[in-house]
Structure 1
Amino acid sequence: MKSSLDSSATLALGGSDNVSSDAKSVARGVARLFARHDIMVLPEVGLRNNRRADLMGIDAKGQIVIVEIKVARADLLGDNKWTEYLDYCDRFYWALPAGFDASPLERPEFLPEQAGLVIADHYDAEMVRAAASNPLAAARRKVETMRLARRAMQRMALANDWLDSELVDWR
């Protein structure tokens, strides 16, 4: 069975041709785990600070979740932008492939008391550490929820061939 991110519709669904197959597999596993916990996610969601969340979603209570996927140690250790995601979510998670050395995420600079940890493969995932909740201000939550909902609708319209991609403002 093909991942929802492994198709010719990858770009229409917000994916990118340059996303590694390992990252796509981790994203799929995380999406399946989160769906069982009533958290629906979208891949590669642009934020207003010009960053792009690997996965962003909303749970049944309206809390916003962001997941940063890392499949290479150098990428994890060299990432100094991830804290810029915290202003756009109630909960933040790292997602790593099975077998990846997660020990660097215990360092203080990775805020282990705040950031959750998920280990995933193509088929499923396990939440190793739950993320702490840091509630967004109501106004910020409304803006981010609306942006995420509109992005989901844009992608659905593109996937159903209702729109041409040049008609969509992806900011």
Structure 2
Amino acid sequence: MAVPPSSNRIRLEDPLEDGRQSAQALAIQRGTMRHLRRLGLAVVSELTLASGRRADLVGLTPQGEIWIVEIKSSLADFRSDMKWPDYRSFCDRLFFASSSSVPMDIFPADAGFILADDYGAEIIREAPIDKMAAARRKAVTIRFAQAAAHRLHKILDPDCDPTF
């Protein structure tokens, strides 16, 4: 008996959602990704770094610069999650993205700040540039490319074997 194409099957999971983010965080993510795309960056969400930490957004500029954006959907979210300093060594620029309901002054002055909602975003404060070493840049860029390709493959072929 022939197996029907996957497009005819009921899909139980959405490969673009992992269930960890709140509705507010997803709105900030969407608006921020739209803005970064308008700036010419390619963006991947939830990218696991070599340290094992997972960055909310990683952007790659046309010049090869790596930006990490840490999304904070509330004051409690910012206070409870202090892993973001670990991201500095994996990017050339570090930003925070949040909504207008979160006070901007809680975010470190030595990081950029993006104000976002479900429809778009604006860079309110540019992030300083702290260039990564060439070997680290190559490793992050390869990890970025592989994650993007694997995710696209999963969307195009949801029944593929994820072990290869």
Q: TM-score range by the shorter chain?
A: 0.7 to 0.9
User: 2:33·2:43 contact (CA, 8 Å) conserved in 1?
Assistant: yes
- TM-score, normalization by structure 2: 0.87
Q: Is the 2:98–2:114 contact (alpha carbons within 8 Å) kept by the matching residues of 1?
A: yes
Residue 80 of structure 1 aligns to a residue whose secondary structure is coil
5+ residue gaps, structure 1: 1-7
- Find the partner of 1:90 among 79, 92, 95: 92
Q: 2:133 aligns with which of 137, 146, 157?
A: 137
Structure 2 unaligned residues grouped into runs of 5+: 1-11
Contact 1:158 1:165 in 2 (8 A): no
Q: Distance in 2 between matches of 1:75 and 1:21?
A: 13
Residues 104 and 147 of structure 1, relative CA distance in 2, 3 Å threshold = same
Corresponding residue of 1:157: 153
Letter in 2 for 1:21: A
Aligned twin of 1:30: 32
1:128 aligned onto 2:124: yes
1:9 offset after TM fit, Å?
A: 6.1
Answering whether residue 63 of structure 2 is matched by residue 51 of structure 1, we say no
CA contact (8 A) 1:53 1:85 kept: yes
**1:162/1:99 CA distance change after superposition, 3 Å:** closer
Paired AA for residue 101 in structure 2: G
Counterpart contact for 2:74–2:101, Cα < 8 Å: no
Q: Find the aligned partners of 2:96 and 2:162 in 1 and give their Cα distance.
A: 33
Q: CA deviation at 1:98?
A: 2.3
Mapped to 2, the partners of 1:147 and 1:29 lie a distance apart of 24
Stretches (4+) displaced over 4 A:
none
**How many angstroms apart in 2 are the aligned matches of 1:9 and 1:120?**
27
Q: Give the Cα–Cα distance (whole angstroms) in 1 for the partners of residues 149 and 113 of structure 2.
A: 29
Residue in structure 1 matched with residue 43 of structure 2 by the alignment: 41
How far did 1:162 drift?
6.2
Measured on the aligned residues, the alpha-carbon RMSD in Å equals 1.6
Give the whole-Å Cα distance in 2 for the aligned partners of 1:25 and 1:146: 28
TM-score when scaled to structure 1? 0.83
1:77, CA displacement in angstroms? 2.0
> Identity over the aligned pairs, expressed in percent?
35
Q: Deviations over 1:102-129 (max 9, x none)?
A: 1112xxxx3x13x100010000001100
Number of matched pairs: 153
Greater C-alpha radius of gyration: 2
